Amino acid sequence: MSYTIKDVAKHANVSIATVSRVLNGLSGYSKATEEKVLQAIKELEYQPNAIARGLISKKSNTVGILFPEVSSQFSAKILRGVEEAVHRLGSSVIVCNTASHGQRTMKYLQLLSEKRVDGILFVSESITEEFYKTLDSMKIPVVLISTESYQYPFPFVKVDDKHAAFTATDYLVRMGHSKIGMLGGNKEDLIAGQPRIDGYKQALAQSGLPINEQSIIHSLGFSFKDGFTGLPKLLEQSSDLTAIFAASDALALGAISAAYKLGVKIPDELSIIGYDNLPIAEMAIPPLTTVAQPLEEMGMVATEMLFSMMEQGRRVESRILPHCVIERESVKEIKPI
């Protein structure tokens, strides 16, 4: 059992109130008592009990973060930014892996509520009515990362998916491509799925290029496997493609592996641009050209938003962070005909 403020008080021959004062850097004691107290703290190696502090201050100095999948590179990068900012701001972060499972998410929300976390970060998933209700009843700030809600008023930080997809596709156009296919994620996904398809189509339309539904593959997810199985299908449907926009880096890597198996040379016979700029992008062969989302920064910005809501008690503006294309070697410039 470690020492309490009482022990320190006794040791320093002062009251616990005085100890509390020097502990919290308040005024109301002489230099001499401060010395005495500090000395006692050092001698006893006293550590204030954050739980007792939390009980009275009604602050746990802890925030919760919910991921559909903590072990993905995507989540890990966001977590890195969050962890950095949270600690800089004097708090800790509890991580929860929801596995995109509603009931599990509810259990976590319950848990975080009982633990009296000061705020919640919600990543990638969409907010159901059930989530909203309990989030709302907790009366603590919530910030969404890499997702948004059209129905519920939570501030968010993300990239403009449609715009980023436009940028990726437009980059391909500028590199001389006109037969451009897309390896899409789940089109039911209104936040990260459909908007990227819209951006792709808009880029094509803006350059006067035809939009052909045969040139799009809609996968169920954004995974390597989806890309691996998706590419052959896409090439079968549209054999004259010279470039592909993949809606995630994992999808793109899967496509590259499939292309390798098919003997299709990247980028000589087929160019590919990805989306995310995960660490794997630069490990690809060839290194993957991709549209970067500033994941760590998104985590940091979201955390800062959360804290300013916690401190000032008022809502904060959502933030759209800039994306940019990272040129590597998976896209080849071709001469327009």
Q: Which stretch binds DNA (CB under 7 A): 5-13, 100-108, 185-193, 245-253?
A: 5-13
Q: What is the DSSP letter of 32?
A: H
User: Which residue type is seen at 11?
Assistant: H
Calpha distance 37→43 (Å, rounded): 10
- 166 binding a second copy? (CB under 8 A): no
Give 96 or 197: the residue with its C-beta nearer to a second copy.
Answer: 96
The binder of DNA chosen from 14, 127, 173, 281 (CB under 7 A): 14
Burial of 71 (0-12, 13-18, 19+ CB in 10 A): exposed
The binder of DNA chosen from 39, 42, 43, 52 (CB under 7 A): 52
From the list DNA, a second copy, none, partner contacted by residue 6 (C-beta under 5 to 8 A by kind): DNA
Q: What is the DSSP letter of 194?
A: H
**Residue 330 structure tokens:** 């998976």
Give 16 or 326: the residue with its C-beta nearer to DNA.
Answer: 16
Give 79 or 216: the residue with its C-beta nearer to a second copy.
Answer: 79
Q: Is the peptide bond before 153 cis (omega within 30 degrees of 0)?
A: no
From the list DNA, a second copy, none, partner contacted by residue 251 (C-beta under 5 to 8 A by kind): none
Calpha distance 270→263 (Å, rounded): 11
Give 2 or 206: the residue with its C-beta nearer to DNA.
Answer: 2
SS3 at position 165? helix
Q: Is the peptide bond before 286 cis (omega within 30 degrees of 0)?
A: yes
Residues 6+ apart with CB under 8 A from 159: 146, 293, 294, 298, 320, 321, 322, 323
Which positions touch a second copy (CB under 8 A)?
A: 2, 45, 47-52, 54-55, 60-62, 69-73, 75-77, 79-80, 83-84, 87, 92-97, 108, 110-111, 113-116, 137, 139, 224, 250, 253-254, 256-257, 260, 279-280, 282-287, 296
Which positions touch DNA (CB under 7 A)?
A: 1, 4-6, 13-18, 20-21, 23-24, 26-30, 32-33, 48-49, 52-53, 55-58
